[in-house]
Amino acid sequence: MTLVGLDDTDSREHGMCTTYVAARVADAVEAAGGSVDRRHLVRLNPAIEFKTRGNAALCLETDLDPARAFGLATAEVDRLAEVDDPQTDPGVVVADATAETVPDAVAAFARRAVRKRIDSNEAIDLLDRLGYHHDGGRGRIGALAAVGAGRAVDDWTYERIAYRELDRCGTPRTVDRESAFAAAEAAYPDAWDTVDREAGELVCVPSAPGPILYGIRGDDPETVGKVAAAIESEPVESAVTYRTNQGTDAHLRPGTVGTVREGRAYRLDGVVDDAPETRTGGHVHLTIRDGDETLPCVAFEPTKRFRDRVRHLRTGDRVTVCGEVGTGTLKLEKFALREQVTTERVVPTCPDCERSMESAGRNQGYRCRDCGTTAPGRVNRTLDRELDPGWYEAPPCARRHIAKPLVRGGFDAPTHPER
Ligand code: ATP
């Protein structure tokens, strides 16, 4: 068998999309007499700065001879890649292997590409050492990672992608809302992130230019196929089901507040130190502490109602936070409230007039000037908590491709899924 890895063919401004290039490569392989078996769409480290959007890379498994597959793939990439964009630097990698028989070094490379930053030279050295066909530029990092994904991913999900007729690209997409909402409702929770019910948004329909009409994500290929088939829309030029690591939290690694590094994503424990505060732009900031170390965290404005959950956190709450660290701040994707503070220390009120007492001087306690009552110090007041313990997440309209929706299960506390 032959694995064909592809990456970095698209451009933020001009459109295109590596999944579309992969679909065309698959057509070329079939036209040449080969068959295409599994297709993998892997999301790599979301913190990589040169990504166009979701840091996706693709791999096709075929029975065509590696040299022929390489020739066809490079020809399609040359034809379709948006290389006028200086940010686009395509890569093609072809290996003589199946998804399960790639060498350990390739599987390890793929695992690291989801969580770390890898240098181009390292990819090229490994490609040369293995004798793989390769062509192009930086895209070879993602292309090699996609080739290794079959052994690096242990939680597979599926996406059914429907493509537009090419001459419609750049025009508004026509997708019937009612049929999409009905299909999403019927298939939930096996299919997720199809729509955002609360925001009233069709999450499955991209807003960026490009050939994708919609993408339906879920736990099994049958469900995503059924949802896709139930959506009424403009003509679908073609549709493909990919096996993916989307919706799996594969990017998160266990960490500690004091040891995080830039450009990596973590799951880590702490205690809320600075209470949440909404600042310019509607972003909600807080700080968590673990011993002497602190880490600023932020829930960005686009995470919408997730910020309300974050705002309900109080100083002293024990939490687990998840997200990528950039410029010294963890960008919140989800969090768990582990243990909440139930009381706060407040200035006592006068038992006679029920007004706040005043300080009687340093270390002198409090007193009410009018009534003459005194109190030795601050008192406990029961907090009215609005947040139950458990996991909270950004809503579907703001979810990263790789982030695991809570509804998929496997979390270590009660969950409060957004849909
Ligand atoms: P889209 O999601 O629209 O297909 P994209 O977000 O996948 O686009 P690309 O245009 O593919 O973005 O750019 C990502 C680039 O980053 C590729 O060149 C890829 O090889 C490289 N890359 C991916 N993961 C890593 C990593 N872990 N370390 C270094 N480079 C990486």
Query: Which residues are paired to 359 by β-bridges?
Result: 366
Atom nearest to 19 CA in ligand 1:
4
Question: Which pLDDT score is estimated for 216?
Answer: 98
Specify the pLDDT at position 210.
86
Whose C-alpha lies nearest to ligand 1, atom 18?
139
Q: Is the distance from CB of 201 to CB of 271 less than 8 angstroms?
A: no
**Looking at residue 176, what DSSP letter applies?**
-
pTM attached to this predicted model: 0.92
Main-chain phi, psi angles of 397, to 5 degrees: -70, -15
Distance of CA 119 from the midpoint of ligand 1 (Å)? 12
Closest ligand 1 atom number to CA of residue 9:
10
Kindly report the protein residue whose alpha carbon is nearest to atom 17 of ligand 1: 139
Q: Which atom of ligand 1 is nearest to the CA of 118?
A: 28
Residue bearing the CA closest to ligand 1, atom 13: 51
**Under a CB-based contact definition with an 8 Å cutoff, are residues 7 and 91 in contact?**
yes
How many other C-beta atoms lie within 10 A of the C-beta of residue 384? 6
Task: Say which residues have a Cβ less than 8 Å from residue 410's Cβ, sequence separation at least 6.
Answer: 404
Alpha-helix residue ranges (DSSP H) falling in 253-408: 306-311
> CB of 333 within 8 A of CB of 401?
no
Q: How far is the CA of 378 from the centre of ligand 1 (A)?
A: 55
Interatomic CA distance for residues 48 and 33, integer angstroms: 37
CA distances from 147 to 8, 22, 117, 405 (A): 14, 13, 17, 26
Q: Is the CB of 253 under 6 A from ligand 1?
A: no
Distance 166 CA to ligand 1 centre (A): 24
Query: How many A from CA of 45 to the centre of ligand 1?
Result: 8
Q: What is the pLDDT of residue 16?
A: 67
Tallying the residues shown for the chain, one arrives at: 419
Strands of 245-365, DSSP E? 252-254, 264-278, 284-290, 293-299, 318-326, 329-339, 343-346, 358-359
- In whole angstroms, give the CA distance from residue 391 to residue 379: 31
For ligand 1, the distance from its centroid to the CA atom of residue 54, given in whole angstroms, is 8
Closest atom of ligand 1 to CA, residue 12: 3
Read off the pLDDT of residues 362-399 as tens digits, 9 standing for 90 and up. Answer: 999 999 999 999 999 999 999 889 899 999 999 999 99
Regarding the beta carbon of 55 and ligand 1, being less than 6 Å apart is answered yes
Among 409, 385, 401, residue whose Cα is nearest residue 337: 385
Structurally, at CATH architecture level, domain 157-244 sits in: Alpha-Beta Complex (3.90)
What's the CA gap between 190 and 184, in Å, rounded? 9
What pLDDT is stored for residue 229 in this prediction?
Answer: 98
Token pair listed for 363: 């270390």
Of all residues in the chain, what percent carry a pLDDT higher than 90?
Answer: 89
Which residue out of 6, 7, 43 has the highest number of ligand 1 atoms within 8 Å of its CB and is therefore the one to mutate? 7
- Residue 87 has what pLDDT? 80
Neighbours of 129 (CB within 10 A): 10
**By the 8 A CB rule, do 108 and 68 touch?**
no
Ligand 1 centre distance from Cα of residue 419 (Å): 28
Stretches in the chain below the pLDDT threshold 70: 11-16
Tell which one of 42, 48, 122, 253 to mutate to probe ligand 1, the residue whose CB is within 8 A of the most ligand atoms.
48
Q: Whose CA is nearest to atom 2 of ligand 1?
A: 54
What is the Å distance from ligand 1's center to 113 Cα?
10
121/84 Cα distance (integer angstroms): 24
Does 383 contact ligand 1 (Cβ within 6 A)?
no
- 18 CB under 6 A from ligand 1? yes
Check residue 347 and give its pLDDT.
95
Task: Please tell me the distance between residue 7's alpha carbon and the centre of ligand 1 in angstroms.
Answer: 7
Q: Give the separation between CA 419 and CA 407, rounded to whole angstroms.
A: 9
Residues ≥6 apart with Cβ < 8 Å to 360: 366, 367, 374
Q: Whose CA is nearest to atom 15 of ligand 1?
A: 51
Task: Tell me how far apart the alpha carbons of residues 92 and 66 are, in angstroms, rounded to a whole number.
Answer: 12
Domain layout of the chain by residue ranges: 2-152, 157-244, 252-342+384-407, 343-382
pLDDT at 15: 59
What confidence score (pLDDT) does residue 50 get?
75
Centre of ligand 1 from the C-alpha of residue 339, in Å = 38
Q: Whose CA is nearest to atom 5 of ligand 1?
A: 55
Whether 48 lines ligand 1, by a CB cut-off of 6 Å, is: yes
Is 246 near ligand 1, meaning CB less than 6 Å away?
no
Q: Which fold has domain 2-152?
A: Alpha-Beta Plaits (3.30.70)
User: Which architecture, in CATH terms, is 252-342+384-407?
Assistant: Beta Barrel (2.40)
Q: What is d(CA 397, CA 419) in angstroms, rounded to the nearest whole number?
A: 9
